[in-house]
Chains A and B, each alone.
Chain A
Amino acid sequence: MKITLVKKIKADGSPCQKCQDISDRLEASDQMKLIDQIIIADESDPASEGMLLASELSVDRAPFFVVEHDDGQKEVFTVYFKFVKQVLNQITSEEEELAEIMNDNPDLDYI
């Protein structure tokens, strides 16, 4: 299994706050060592490795994780807590999971 983390740099060159938050969380939980590679999706450069990967996998948000299984199947995770729960077997709280869903999906405001 190979795990790739794709982090975003915004079109104005500034870093994505959530990408940094997730990096900090992975470091704090000593799980960064389980990430095999980190690549950058630079919004100002559609040819950047992360932007190309996002396009190839039809991902429209960042950060995201790509888990490549031994049989070659690729699985994409755009929800951090879903990733750490399912792939890293971390126990997560429902509060954290719900907060992430709410933050990442503003379209749910009108449900």
Chain B
Amino acid sequence: MSITENDINQLATDYKDKSPQDILTLALETVDNIAISFSGAEDIVLVDMASKIKKDFQVFTLDTGRLHPETYRFMDQVREKYGIQIEAMCPNADQIEKFIKEKGYFSFYQDDHKECCSVRKIGPLRRKLETLDGWITGQRRDQSPGTRTNVPVVQVDAAFAGPNGQLTKFNPLANWSSEQVWAYIRANDVPFNSLHEQGFISIGCEPCTRPVLPNQHEREGRWWWEEATAKECGLHAETNKS
């Protein structure tokens, strides 16, 4: 079924206070060609919820080549438990060879993480999204106070496009806190990445992820050598500021 931009905006309003399961059901039932983006971390709850909604659903992951061994083992564990395929999207070989030749393996500690992420993550993500009409993410508003405070439960993806031009992005966990995610994991006996037992909260590539101390925000476990900066490109009317 095709879905218009107006439909999406209306759904964002209608579903803004619905449960993740309701939003996920909407996504899986409204968009035929849709897939869950799975990072190998807490977004496992989406896979678990989806498995209770329907049998056949697509899952893909961005295999940057720099993930922890624990994450790769967890991927296999998930594949086996849920009986699903997890399509691994890998960096373009020519681009990554050129990047390593020019910058080496750890340039992000001197520059910043964006160039490396562009090659290892955004390129493969765009390649996958070009084949889809919709995708489902584990993005939550509480993950990064600076950049995710306005994550809606469903939106027109402004950064990427599907084969027909439009791409719909569902964020079923947008309203959930980390505590709610973990309450779900425990209550439903959902498998989780063993790195969480070592103090990791947010899990990405091995060189760019570290455990955090009690009461540190999970953002402090990622790209900790970079200064958090204000989002440059947003449009924020001064009178709307709180």
Chain A interface, number of residues (Cβ within 8 angstroms) = 34
Set of chain A residues within 8 Å of B126, measured between Cβ atoms: 98, 101
Within 8 A of B (CB), among A74-111: 78-79, 94-95, 98-99, 101-111
**A30 interfacial by beta-carbon distance below 8 Å:** no
Please pick, from A62, A104, A110, the residue contacting B144 in the complex, using a CB distance under 8 A: A110
Nearest-Cβ distance from residue A46 to partner chain B, whole angstroms = 4
Chain B interface, number of residues (Cβ within 8 angstroms) = 44
Set of chain B residues within 8 Å of A31, measured between Cβ atoms: none
**B28 interfacial by beta-carbon distance below 8 Å:** no
**B107 interfacial by beta-carbon distance below 8 Å:** no
Most A CB within 10 A of own CB, among B9, B115, B122, B202: B122
Set of chain A residues within 8 Å of B37, measured between Cβ atoms: 111
**A25 interfacial by beta-carbon distance below 8 Å:** no
**B25 interfacial by beta-carbon distance below 8 Å:** no
- The answer to whether B122 touches A44 (Cβ under 8 A) is no
**A71 interfacial by beta-carbon distance below 8 Å:** no
Interface 0/1 of B213-231, CB less than 8 Å to A: 0000000001100000001
Nearest-Cβ distance from residue B107 to partner chain A, whole angstroms = 14
Set of chain A residues within 8 Å of B39, measured between Cβ atoms: 110-111
- The answer to whether A111 touches B233 (Cβ under 8 A) is no
Q: Which residues of B contact A (CB under 8 A)?
A: 9, 37, 39, 62, 95, 113-115, 117-119, 121-123, 125-126, 137-139, 143-144, 146-148, 150-151, 158-160, 202, 204, 222-223, 231-241
Q: Which residues of A contact B (CB under 8 A)?
A: 8, 11, 16-18, 41, 43-46, 51, 54, 58-62, 78-79, 94-95, 98-99, 101-111
